[in-house]
A = this chain, B = another copy of it.
Amino acid sequence: MGDGYHLADFGAYTVGGRMIDVAGRATREINFMPTASFTYDPNGTFAIEHLYVQYFVPASRNALPPVLLLHGGGLSGSTWETTPDGRPGWLHGLLRRGFEVHVVDNVERGRAGWCAIEGIWPDVPIQRSLQEAWTLFRFGRPGDFDARKPFPGQRFPTGALDTFARGFVPRWTSTGPAASAAFEALIDRFEQVTVICHSQGGQFAFEAAASRPGRISALCAIEPSGFTNTPEVLRGVPVLMVHGDFLDCDERWQQMNARWRAWVDALAGPDADDAVTTMSLPREGIRGNSHMVMMDDNSDVVLERVVEWLDGVRPR
């Protein structure tokens, strides 16, 4: 699409969640604008725990099922848009390749909103610092954060770290079941769908693949941090696990890497075939990728590999 993006349609919708009724709480005076004070009544009916989806349908669609893009923890659907250093994201790359794409803002993230009513969710939200992102996303050593000196060969655009951080959103630790339920409700809207998920999104994608047999025609998990309890429930679903470089940088990632391998092995089972595979980017000679593969400077190269895999496992 050197001449831009020709869309047959685009738009947004929300899925899942529940209504809660709040009663017996005290009203209070709100004076938030010089001209618009009013009595705030915290009682009533509130919509919570839905997710938000923005969808794009290219005018020339390929023959593969629509793609759901499910972001990781502390992030929103903006993960897949323009990269922090201003390049087109995977959303753009998928549209350019003729995929219909649905970008999710998960429960309590981004445009899905969140529940500000005390006592509904038991925990307090957490927020990611730049320092945590620096180490958790494998940009560089903790001691090199202040100097913004990344790992040698780092492909994440660490010069745009501040911009990346403006894409962080707070998160609760108690809303996993609600997020799973909403994502399953989303899956139910499709006959067949492809899921590309990242990090925390893996949890919800794998659970939905297990509980909605036959719906997810292919599942690409970019460095998933959550899984189903038993891999066997996913047999029959083509799964691709993609991971980047620098996994030896700390113990957490060494453990996660071992877990990915063990999980894929268990999922493949005795009749392993190519439909369940781990794509280790460094093992394929693609070095320098962080946890944020879809933002790294070779994001298009990795997406091309993912699309080749999708094409190989397409429903026929």
Contact = CB atoms under 8 A, between A and B. Distances in A.
Contact of A35 (B9, B59, B225): B225
A308 interface: no
Given A82-B13, A166-B50, A203-B33, A132 B44 contact: yes
B47 A226 contact: no
B11 A59 contact: no
Given A7-B4, A32-B173, A33-B226, A166 B127 contact: no
A297 interface: no
B82 A11 contact: yes
B166 A14 contact: yes
A161 B303 CA distance: 39
Nearest to A162: B47
Interface stretch (A105-113, A211-219, A274-282): A105-113
Interface string A92-115: 100000000000010000111111
A154 interface: no
A4 B19 CA distance: 35
A261 to B, nearest CB: 14
A168 to B, nearest CB: 6
A226 B34 CA distance: 7
B132 A76 contact: no
A283 interface: no
A115 B127 contact: yes
Contacts of A236: none
Contact of A168 (B47, B81, B82, B171): B47
Contacts of A38: 136, 252
Contact of A34 (B77, B167, B229, B256): B229
Given A110-B111, A114-B170, 18 more contacts: A4-B59, A5-B9, A6-B7, A11-B81, A14-B163, A14-B167, A33-B176, A33-B226, A36-B256, A41-B132, A45-B165, A46-B130, A46-B168, A47-B130, A110-B113, A113-B169, A114-B169, A117-B127
